[in-house]
Amino acid sequence: METNRELFEAYNKDVYRTCYYMVHDAADAEDLTQDVFITVFRTNRENVEHMKAWIMKITVNHCLNHLKRKRTLQQKVSDNLYLFKKSPETPVDRLIEQRETTMEWAKYLSQLPVKLRMVITLRYMHDFSLAEVSDLLSIPLGTTKSRLHKGLKVLRRILLEAGVQIDQKEGESYEKVREYAGASVE
């Protein structure tokens, strides 16, 4: 069996990245990561068959609890987001730069409802199969499928609204974003 240190080295980035994309806040993600590993080390893992899946399950639960705690406040803010929104005055060039950054992606994801975000993160960040995701979240396979599908749909809309061209090739997508952004400003 791996030592605690080996486990920590092997999975700290996976755990952190998941938390980061789930909660969209670096400091919270750091605290959560630490809590996850403390839980992992305190639990008897002798009978754990699939270590990564098990750790991700703990991670998922920590994130969900955290979000649940935060939701009351956040909900109020996000439900009334229009009150806080300013008219867009960020220079176009900076917008384009930001668009491709991880921060932005964490932001796009954070606009997804938690349930959908969780499924998307597990499926595409960690490449868990649909069955494994169902298992991790203790939901039926059909629910996972529909959440994944819905998540992709909503995310596509979020990205389109943000002006991100959905394409496979990076360079190309950058160009298109530039074109798109340019056009919309003119």
| Residues at the site binding another protein, with contacts judged by CB under 8 A | 1-5, 8, 12-13, 16-17, 20-21, 26, 29-30, 33-34, 37-38, 41-47, 49-52, 101-103, 105, 120-121, 124-125, 127, 129, 140, 142, 145-146, 148-150, 152-153, 155-156, 159, 166-168, 170, 173
User: By C-beta, is 50 or 70 nearer to another protein?
Assistant: 50
Distance CA 178, CA 92 (A): 9
**Minimum CB separation from another protein for residue 115, in Å?**
16
Least separation, in Å, of the C-beta of 185 and another protein?
24
Nearer to another protein, 167 or 179 (CB): 167
Q: Integer distance in angstroms from the first to the last C-alpha of the chain?
A: 61
Which residues, including other chains, have CB under 8 Å from residue 72's CB and lie 6 or more apart? Answer: none
Helix ranges, 43-129 (H)? 51-79, 81-84, 92-99, 102-110, 114-125
In the bound state with another protein, the residue whose beta carbon lies nearer, of 49 and 89, is: 49
- CB 7 to another protein: min, Å: 8
Placement of tokens 């809309």 in the chain? 157
80 vs 129, which CB is nearer to another protein? Answer: 129
Q: Minimum CB separation from another protein for residue 91, in Å?
A: 21
Query: Nearest Cα to 145, choosing from 132, 135, 126, 130?
Result: 130
CB of 45 to another protein, least distance (A): 7
Radius of gyration of the chain (CA): 18
User: What DSSP line would sit under 91-115, residue for residue?
Assistant: -HHHHHHHHTSHHHHHHHHHTS-HH
Q: Which is nearer to another protein, 38 or 80 (CB)?
A: 38
